[in-house]
Structure 1
C-alpha cells in the first residue's frame, strides 16, 4: 500500500484535534509540536481540509481549527481524499486503460485493484470518533463485515 505523508499526517492531525479540542480551536503549532509535523506542512494540509468541509478555522488569540462535523460523521476515507491522496497498491493507473506493463494490464491488476477497493471500504467504515475513542472491537468488526462480503464459499 502506498499512502504518502499527506494522507498519514492529515489523519494524525484530525485525530489530534479530536483528542485535544474539547470544543475549542486547536492551533497548528500545538498539533505540530505533539505530532512532530512541520507547521508549514500542516498549513498546506489544513487548507485542503478546510475546503473539503472537514475543519473550520478561528482567527485571533486562542484561534486554530475545530472539526466542522461531529467526529462520528467524518470517515477516515474523507480525510485521505480531502488532501488529494490516492491509495495505490499497484503501479497501475486506475483501470489501466493505458496498460500497466508494456501497454497491457499486468497479470495481478485485478487482485491489486480489489485490494485497493477493500482498503477504501475499510477506511469508509471507520469514523474519526472510532479512532479517537480507540474502538478496537468496532474496527475489528468492520474488517470482518468487509471481508465477509467478498469471501467466496468453499466448494
Structure 2
C-alpha cells in the first residue's frame, strides 16, 4: 500500500492542528507555514476532513479550524480513510460481491489479501492522534517543520 500526498500531508496537518488548536482556532495559513504545504492544497484536505467530521471551521476574525473530537478519539485510520478512501491493498471480489470472482473456490491468495487488509486497519486504528502530538512535541518542541525534518 502506498499513501498519496493527501494522506501524508493530511496526517501532518492534523497533528499540527491538534497541537496548536487547544487554545484557539488555527488558520490554514499558519498550518501551511509550519508544515511547508500549499494553502490551496490544505484547503482541499481540510474540506475532506470536515466532511468526515474530523475538523470543524470557526468563522470570524479569530476563526480557523479546530478538531471536531478530542485528539485521543481520532485514529490515524480515521484520518487516512477520510483522505484516501479505502486502505485496502487489493480489492478482492471474493470478499465484496455476492457472486465472488471466478477463481474464488480455488483461490488461496484471497486469505493473504484479507490478512494484509486486517493488519493495516488494525495498525492505523490503534494509533491515536494524541500519541502523535506527544511524539511531535518530544521531537520538535518549537513546532516548526523545516525541510530537512519533514520534506515528505
* TM-score over 0.5 (shorter chain): yes
TM norm structure 1: 0.72
Partner of 1:76: 76
Q: Does the 8 Å CA contact 2:81/2:87 hold for their aligned counterparts?
A: no
Q: Contact conserved, 1:3 with 1:88, CA < 8 A, in 2?
A: no
How many pairs align? 132
Please identify runs of 4+ aligned residues in structure 1 that moved more than 3 A: 90-99, 103-109
Q: Which runs of 5+ in 2 are unaligned?
A: 137-152
Aligned residues: CA RMSD: 2.4
1:4 alignment counterpart: 4
Match of 1:123 in 2: 124
Task: Answer 1 or 2: higher relative contact order, Cα 8 Å, separation at least 6.
Answer: 2
Q: Deviations over 1:108-140 (max 9, x none)?
A: 4422331122111111111111111129xxxxx
Tell me what 2:19 maps to.
19
Shift of 1:57: 0.6
Judged with a 3 Å threshold, the aligned counterparts in structure 2 of structure 1 residues 68 and 109 are, in CA distance, closer, same or farther, namely same
2: CA distance between counterparts of 1:7 and 1:18?
16
Task: Please list every run of 5 or more consecutive structure 1 residues that lacks an aligned counterpart in the other structure.
Answer: 136-155
